[in-house]
Amino acid sequence: MATDRGRGAERVFVVQKHRASRLHFDFRLQIGDTMKSWAVPKGPSLDPSVRRLAVEVDDHPLSYNDFEGRIESGYGKGTVLLWDRGSLEPASPADRADAALARGYRAGRIDFVLRGERLRGAWRLVRMAGDEERPQWLLSKVDDEHADPELDPVQRYDTSVSSGRTLKEIAGE
């Protein structure tokens, strides 16, 4: 239920691989009742020493989380593949997880834990200085048992977690 925002309500994340004018990964975290969104050109890295540019983009509705397919026109024209999905929690246990995540977002530092099919463990998003229309953040893997400098998830996984298809198959090429 949309009104059930108390402790115990599960928050979600999704990553959509999006081949538009440029290939990027749309990294979306549920904060409150919306999906805060970042476009990550190089995609996530499991190497804790690597920080990836994550450009904040428009919020998306939760109803978009399952989307996979072709965008025929307009902004984002191209093909979308559902690359990962799972649950999201703040890194520190909190009575009100939503409030903790929203506080981190406002402060420009979000420490969170993912339980997805491909991305797991602790992650961090840090907003860089500047107050632009499209704030730039850095996404990084926090060093834990799920970190792995040897495994490049972008190279390793090129299929959809929902349909098993590749971008080319979704595009009908």
Helix (H) or strand (E) holding 136: strand 136-141
Q: In this chain, which stretch among 25-33, 44-52, 106-114, 136-144 interacts with Mn ion, using CB under 5 A?
A: 25-33
Task: Please pick, from the candidates 17, 18, 36, 124, the single residue that binds Mn ion as defined by CB under 5 A.
Answer: 18
Please name the residues in contact with 74: beta carbons below 8 A apart, sequence gap of 6 or more.
Answer: none
Q: How many CA atoms lie within 13 A of 89 on its CB side?
A: 15
* Number of amino acids touching Mn ion (CB under 5 A): 2
Interface residue with Mn ion, options 14, 25, 26, 44 (CB under 5 A): 26
Q: Which range binds Mn ion by CB under 5 A, 10-18, 88-96, 111-119, 149-157?
A: 10-18
Query: Exposed/middle/buried for 83, CB within 10 Å: 0-12, 13-18, 19+?
Result: buried
Helix or strand run (H / E) with residue 60: strand 51-60
Do β-strands 69-71 and 78-90 pair in parallel, antiparallel, or remain unpaired? antiparallel
Stretch near Mn ion under the rule CB under 5 A, chosen from 11-19, 82-90, 134-142, 165-173: 11-19
- The minimum distance between CB 101 and Mn ion, in angstroms, equals 21
Single-letter code of the amino acid located at 140: S
**For Mn ion, the closer CB: 23 or 142:** 23
Assess 56 for contact with Mn ion (CB under 5 A): no
Residues making contact with Mn ion (CB under 5 A): 18, 26
